[in-house]
Amino acid sequence: MRRSKRVAATSDGAAEAKRGARTADKDGDQAGVDSPKALFALDTPQQYQKYLDLYSQTVAQLPKKSLDTLIASDAWMWGEGRMEIQQRTPPSITSSELQRICMWKFTRGKFRPLMGKIKANPDDLVSEASTRAFAALPDVKKAIEEMTVLKGVGPATASAILAVFDDNVPFMSDEATTAVLPPPIKYTQPYYLKMADALKAKASNLGGEWTAEKVGKALWTCQYARKVTKL
């Protein structure tokens, strides 16, 4: 009986997402997309692009105490920081960059009291672990394993580090994760890999220059854009 109830609940959730997706597809704009799950049910590049275009604006209007720090860190991660990391020979991150990426993660999402452990990682260990992780790509499983040798770095934090280096590796945000996988969220490697595979498949369906991380950003924005922008 319990199993039947779970199946029914899952079916109801899928049906709700499809109803929202059908409305969005019919309207042709954000008006019908009321959740990341409904957006994920679509394969319409225009829908995703509208939310992706709102990403920076949405970040800048989040009700966060450390908003200035978040805005600066977000711009650095996907701009100057990404360029610097990619251009190193071999590509790697420094201890200070690890701390900045983690602070971005803890500020944009849920705060985690892990900075003490993060700061305890020696710079040479951070450099070696990230070098091995970046070299392991596109084997995401191996790359995650290499990054999580660092103190305070679990699969979700590792995904943020990898996403800065390679747009084909999505950050494990709660908003994107719950759009593609049933709750509860499990911050484990197998659970993350399922989420990553789902976003990669969606990027492939959307075509063009879509990547797993771009899809993830669109899903995240869909969760908050209505609250902080004039949609």
Predicted local confidence at residue 230, as pLDDT: 62
One pLDDT digit (tens) per residue for the chain, 231 residues: 444 443 344 444 444 444 444 444 444 444 458 899 999 999 999 999 999 999 999 999 988 878 999 999 999 999 999 999 999 999 999 999 999 999 999 888 776 777 889 999 999 999 999 999 999 999 999 999 999 999 999 999 999 999 999 999 999 999 999 999 999 999 999 999 999 999 999 999 999 999 999 999 999 999 999 777 665
pLDDT for residue 6: 38
The 3-class SS string of 156-214 reads HHHHHHHHHHCCCCCCCCHHHHHHHCCCCCCCCHHHHHHHHHHHHHHHHHHCCCCCHHH
DSSP-based three-state secondary structure for 114? coil
Count CB atoms within 10 A of the CB of residue 73. Answer: 21
Determine the pLDDT at residue 60.
93
pLDDT score at 155: 97
CA dihedral 143, 164, 110, 29 (to 10 degrees): -120
> Residue 14: what pLDDT?
43
Closest CA to 98 of 131, 66, 60, 64: 131
Which pLDDT score, from 0 to 100, does residue 24 have? 41
Q: What's the CA gap between 44 and 22, in Å, rounded? A: 11
CA distance 43 to 40: 8
Sequence-separated (6 or more) residues with CB below 8 Å from residue 199: 170, 176, 180, 212, 213, 215, 216
Residue 31 is predicted with a pLDDT of 47
Res 18: pLDDT: 45
Closest Cα partner for 212 from 223, 221, 199? Answer: 199
